[in-house]
Amino acid sequence: MSIPASLVKQLRDKTNAGMMDCKEALEASDGNFDKAVEYLRKKGLSAATKRSSKAAKDGVIASYIHMQGKIGVLVEVNCETDFVARTEAFQTMAKDIAMHVAASNPTYLNAEAVPAEVLDREKEIYRSQAKAEGKPEKIFDRIVEGKLKKYYEEVCLMDQKFIKDTNITVATLVQNMIANTGENIMVRRFARFQLGEELK
């Protein structure tokens, strides 16, 4: 089908994708604008996966201070180039992640950062709970897996629902930025300070 140039421009304005990509998306979606947006998002996220092998050595350290100085957060977010690091969209995302850390208080960056002994302890608790509830032993592993997923969503920054849009996780927020910039982007580390908290 013939796609009007005005529709291609409209899709480009909304998604920041290239003209040819927008035309391809509209053709693949039979001119359906919403389906074309979804098509570009999927394509962008698959491109984001390919970018993850690229070195991310630039970026910013963003800060957020909350409650008149009662909570402070530092977050390091890396990208490939200074050009992307200086964009308003990248800086806003880094700041938003710092604000998210202040509000949601994650313990770990991601699931891989959870120590093995902590995981073993959690699994043991979940198995004991399943046994106490009289669940069949053959489904213990499935129960443990489901509870671990919820545990990660509570304690791991990248698995948490993003506070400004709970339809996505922090990981999805970063993936969307990768899709928009074409660069590998990663949250490297964070530190959260709360006035008067116990020092470990």
Which numeric CATH code is attached to 115-154? 1.10.286.20
User: Domain ranges in the chain?
Assistant: 5-51, 58-109+156-194, 115-154
**5-51 matches 58-109+156-194 in fold:** no
Q: Name the architecture of domain 5-51.
A: Orthogonal Bundle (1.10)
* pTM of the entire predicted model: 0.70
Instruction: Quote the pLDDT of residue 88.
Output: 96
The helix (H) or strand (E) run that includes residue 42 is helix 33-51
CB 48 within 8 A of CB 152: no
> What are φ and ψ of residue 108, in 5° steps?
-125, 160
Q: How do residues 74-117 score in pLDDT, each as one tens digit?
A: 999 999 999 999 999 999 999 999 999 999 999 999 999 999 99
Q: Which residues are 62's β-sheet partners?
A: 75
Q: Which fold, 58-109+156-194?
A: Tetrahydropterin Synthase; Chain A (3.30.479)
Q: How do residues 143-189 score in pLDDT, each as one tens digit?
A: 999 999 999 999 999 999 999 999 999 999 999 999 899 888 999 99
**Distance (Å, whole) CA 90 – CA 113:** 24
